[in-house]
Amino acid sequence: MYDFFAAFSVLELVLFSSWYDFAAVRWPTLRGRRRLGAMKSPLICEGTGEPTKVCAVAIRTNQEGDYASLVVSGSFDLAHAKQVAQAVEKVEEGLSRCRSIDIDLVHLERIDGTGAILLARLLDRLDVEGRNTRVANNQNPEAARLIALYRERRTEHMRPKPSGRNPAARVGAFASEMFGGGTVALDFIGRCAASLPKVIASPKSVDWRSLPRLIQEIGADALLVTSAANLLVGVIIGFLGVSQLGRFGAVAFVPELVVVAHFRELGPLVTAIVVAGRSGAGLASEIATMKVTEEIDALRSLGFDPVRWLVVPRCLALVVTVPLLTWVGDLLALVGGLAATTAITNMTFHAYLQATLDDVTASNLFAGLIKSPFLALAIGLVASGQGLLTHGGAAAVGDRTTTAVVQAIFCVIVISAVFTFFFALIGV
Amino acid sequence: MPRSKHHIIVEELRIGWGTKVLIEHVTFNVERGTVFTILGGSGCGKSTLLRYLIGLEKPQAGRINIAEVGEPHHYEGMPPFGVLFQSGGLFSSMTLAENLALPLAAWTPIRGQTMRKLIQAKLDLVGLGSFADHLPGEISGGMKKRAGIARALMLDANLLFFDEPSAGLDPISAVELDQLILTLSQDLGITVVIVTHELSSIFLVADDCILLDKQTRGIVAQGDPRKLRDESRIPFVHNFLTRSSPNGGANHGG
């Protein structure tokens, strides 16, 4: 665990040092080169103390009553960051009774931004705790200035270490965020619903030109993958049916199992999940990218409502294409079931086909297909909503896309379950 | 009825996110036909203030009133002003010509040959006449900025908002842009509100300015930028407008 925190400290220091590269390079220009004196490089100060062959890192404490002098020696640089962090932590533990602390830099072999940050933060922490600290800068003014630079340019406020988060507070924060997310979702759904009358009143407020492209991307381009998924699900149901029903000599019911299971439940579900993963991610990342590149703001400044311009055509394209993909998927699942069953049983092709045709009823077909537009709408709303909520840069686009896919798949499953429950209630 | 002298009136504006306040007690007026600049250090809220002025956000408190428009966040309909965003804000799936055609197609009956002529003229104005069929991804950042300016000019609004228009432009294009802004303001009487850091541009084109400060979360100075540079006794204002370091560093002009 200790190593983990030390490694984390090193990472933090590397990040701080990259800022220092800027500060150190600018500094000579701003202050005049003479003030830097013997500084050999903007990044590294060579100490004026006695040179040693081995640059071991050490902080020696000379303590007298409540006064301590910290004699720093060795290489306080990026290459020795882990040792420096450990030395600083160790010496800090032994200073609990000291009221006045000096740091002596005379034996310092090397120091760079990393070492200076560690010493600066040690001094900051000691100051916050009410100790008097002082850097003896007359022997090594360059190193003292380097440490002072990081102390001057600190914006974060040093606070005592937190004693651990209150579990009740964490539960409260989680609940608050959860309800906050629900409010945002309801607000977005409300905006979409309110935009529908405006779409009818002003059809040119919708980007109809993008509709063919969207139907191509969401429908035609996804046909192969949704078809393959449905075909394989048909094969799986066929194999499963043969292995389970075959034990009771009921292989003749496998075609009915394939039709009922796939048409009513798995066809719409599998198709919607594949579309949510494929097109949902695409739509969310497209809108999220538009948000971070100010395209959405530009759209609003030109008098367009992003919901009408962007969300309506995307939802419409999904509502049109997902039922078609589901229908094609249903047919291919029958083929998969047929192939699996006839391959491992004595049932003939004609017998399977006849049994299937007997079971393909309007009730089975439409109980599944009627779900598809709702599942498609959920995918469109979730993907578009998450895209429009994006704030920040490229990382935010990735986060929102992931969230959109997860939420879309979850919504698809929930809506499918609600339909199944409803159909069971009304006896369809 | 005579038109009001003030094009934009901002009173006691407070902006921020949630309970966080970014800047407050912001009060200023923008006169018609002038070039008004919003200045300040990085992260002080200049571009955010612009978002409120163009109605993308609702203020936490206070009031923004644009003449003939009212409160911008309540306004619906044909945009009463043109906006250039920091990154250009061009639609990446459309060519430059299609980007420029969008506001015309949505809000005017202009179509066909007339529309093409108008688009070509606006692109020629910003030096992009031969790039009409290019996608935004195929041109440089500075060219995107110029295309964004051309789109902001498409509806010939009498109020323009530019967010860092000179950033990313080569010196010659930047000077040409300054000349264009002066022409728009002085010859056509268009009010231009600019968020910028470019001191040379500010002193050349700006009639009036406000200077925002992150520390005080508000306006620290307002007026003619040249007067502020020469007469202001506030160290931050002086350092900002003379490009000096608060630690007494070198002055690099401006």
In B, what residues contact A, Cβ < 8 A?
51, 54-56, 76-79, 81, 83, 85-93, 102-103, 105-107, 148, 151, 245, 247, 249-250
Instruction: State whether A302 and B91 contact (CB < 8 Å).
Output: no
The residues facing B163 across adjacent strands are B195
Q: Residue A181: helix, strand or coil by DSSP?
A: helix
Angle at B53 between CA B49 and CA B55, to 5 degrees: 115
Predicted local distance difference test score (pLDDT) of residue A393: 83
Instruction: State whether B92 and A295 contact (CB < 8 Å).
Output: yes
Instruction: State whether B86 and A294 contact (CB < 8 Å).
Output: yes
Which CATH number is A64's domain given? 3.30.750.24
Residue A160 belongs to some domain of the structure: no
Q: Are B82 and A302 in contact (CB under 8 A)?
A: no
- A342 and A246 together in one domain: yes
Encode A292-314: b = buried (16+ Cβ within 10 Å), e = exposed.
Answer: bbbbbbbbbbbbbbbbbbbbbbb
- A222 and A110 together in one domain: no
pLDDT tens per residue across all 428 residues of chain A: 445 444 445 445 444 444 444 444 333 333 333 333 333 444 444 444 444 344 578 898 888 888 888 999 899 989 888 999 999 998 888 888 888 898 988 888 888 888 889 999 898 888 888 888 888 867 788 888 888 888 876 666 555 555 556 788 888 877 777 777 788 888 999 999 999 999 999 888 899 999 999 999 999 999 999 999 999 999 999 999 999 999 999 999 999 999 999 999 999 999 999 999 999 999 999 999 999 999 999 999 999 999 999 999 999 999 999 999 999 999 999 999 999 999 999 999 999 999 999 999 998 888 999 999 999 999 999 999 999 999 888 889 999 999 999 999 999 999 999 999 999 999 87
The residues facing B21 across adjacent strands are B16
pTM over 0.90: no
Residues in chain A closer than 8 A to B148 (CB atoms): 298
Predicted local distance difference test score (pLDDT) of residue A215: 96
Residue A159 belongs to some domain of the structure: no
Instruction: State whether A303 and B88 contact (CB < 8 Å).
Output: no
Residue A380 belongs to some domain of the structure: yes
Residue A272 belongs to some domain of the structure: yes
Pairwise CA distance, residues A260 & A342, whole Å = 18
Q: Convert the pLDDT of each residue in B37-91 to its tens digit.
A: 999 988 899 999 999 999 999 999 999 999 989 999 999 889 999 999 998 999 9
Residue A72 belongs to some domain of the structure: yes
Edge-to-edge strands, sheet with B6-17: B20-31, B6-17, B61-66
Residue A254 belongs to some domain of the structure: yes
Predicted local distance difference test score (pLDDT) of residue A155: 61
Q: Over range B121-130, report the average pLDDT.
A: 92
Residue A174 belongs to some domain of the structure: no
The Cα diameter of chain B in Å comes to: 60
Residues in chain B closer than 8 A to A300 (CB atoms): 55-56
Q: Which residues contact A243 (CB under 8 A, 6 or more apart)?
A: none
Pairwise CA distance, residues A9 & A15, whole Å = 10
Query: What band does B159 get if pLDDT is binned at 50, 70 and 90?
Result: very high
Instruction: State whether B76 and A303 contact (CB < 8 Å).
Output: yes
- A258 and A326 together in one domain: yes
Kindly compute the dihedral angle of the four CA atoms of residues B196, B197, B203, B204, in this order, to the nearest 10 degrees.
Answer: -60
Measured between CA atoms, the residue of chain A closest to residue B53 is A301
Q: Which of A152, A172, A207 is the last residue of a domain?
A: A152
Residue ranges and CATH numbers for the domains of chain B are: 1-81+158-246+250-254 (3.40.50.300), 89-156 (no CATH)
Predicted local distance difference test score (pLDDT) of residue B43: 86
Measured between CA atoms, the residue of chain A closest to residue B246 is A30
Name the minimum distance, in Å, from the CA of B103 to any CA of chain A. Answer: 6
Predicted local distance difference test score (pLDDT) of residue A160: 52
Predicted local distance difference test score (pLDDT) of residue A140: 83
- A133 and A269 together in one domain: no
- A250 and A142 together in one domain: no
Instruction: State whether A290 and B90 contact (CB < 8 Å).
Output: no
Residue A329 belongs to some domain of the structure: yes
Q: Does A169 touch chain B (CB under 8 A)?
A: no
Q: What is the mean pLDDT of chain B?
A: 90
Residues in chain B closer than 8 A to A302 (CB atoms): 79, 102-103, 106
- A119 and A226 together in one domain: no
Compare CB distances from A303 to B86, B91, B107 and report the shortest one's residue.
Answer: B107
Name the minimum distance, in Å, from the CA of A302 to any CA of chain B. Answer: 6
- A254 and A368 together in one domain: yes
Q: Convert the pLDDT of each residue in B109-120 to its tens digit.
A: 999 999 999 999
Pairwise CA distance, residues A23 & B99, whole Å = 41
Predicted local distance difference test score (pLDDT) of residue A237: 96
Measured between CA atoms, the residue of chain A closest to residue B245 is A30
- Tell me the residues of chain A between 288 and 307 that have a Cβ less than 8 Å away from chain B: 289-290, 293-295, 297-304
Instruction: State whether B106 and A298 contact (CB < 8 Å).
Output: no
- A123 and A229 together in one domain: no
Query: What band does B211 get if pLDDT is binned at 50, 70 and 90?
Result: very high
- A366 and A270 together in one domain: yes
Number of domains in chain A: 2
Q: Which of A129, A152, A175 is the last residue of a domain?
A: A152
Instruction: State whether B92 and A293 contact (CB < 8 Å).
Output: yes
Q: Does A207 touch chain B (CB under 8 A)?
A: no
Name the minimum distance, in Å, from the CA of A31 to any CA of chain B. Answer: 6
- A94 and A40 together in one domain: yes
Predicted local distance difference test score (pLDDT) of residue A15: 47
Predicted local distance difference test score (pLDDT) of residue A96: 82
Q: Does A165 touch chain B (CB under 8 A)?
A: no
- A276 and A415 together in one domain: yes
- A403 and A264 together in one domain: yes
Q: Does A397 touch chain B (CB under 8 A)?
A: no
User: Is the sign of the CA dihedral A388, A389, A394, A399 positive or negative?
Assistant: negative
Predicted local distance difference test score (pLDDT) of residue A41: 40
- Tell me the residues of chain A between 13 and 42 that have a Cβ less than 8 Å away from chain B: 29-31
Predicted local distance difference test score (pLDDT) of residue B108: 92
* Residue A420 burial class via C-beta count within 10 angstroms: exposed 0-12, middle 13-18, buried 19 and up: middle
Q: Which of A127, A152, A177 is the last residue of a domain?
A: A152
Compare CB distances from A301 to B77, B83, B250 and report the shortest one's residue.
Answer: B83
Structural domain boundaries enclosing A50: 2-152
Instruction: State whether A298 and B86 contact (CB < 8 Å).
Output: no
Q: Residue A239: helix, strand or coil by DSSP?
A: helix
Q: Residue A302: helix, strand or coil by DSSP?
A: coil
Cα distances (Å, whole numbers) of residue B40 to A117, A403, B27, B199, B218:
29, 36, 15, 11, 10
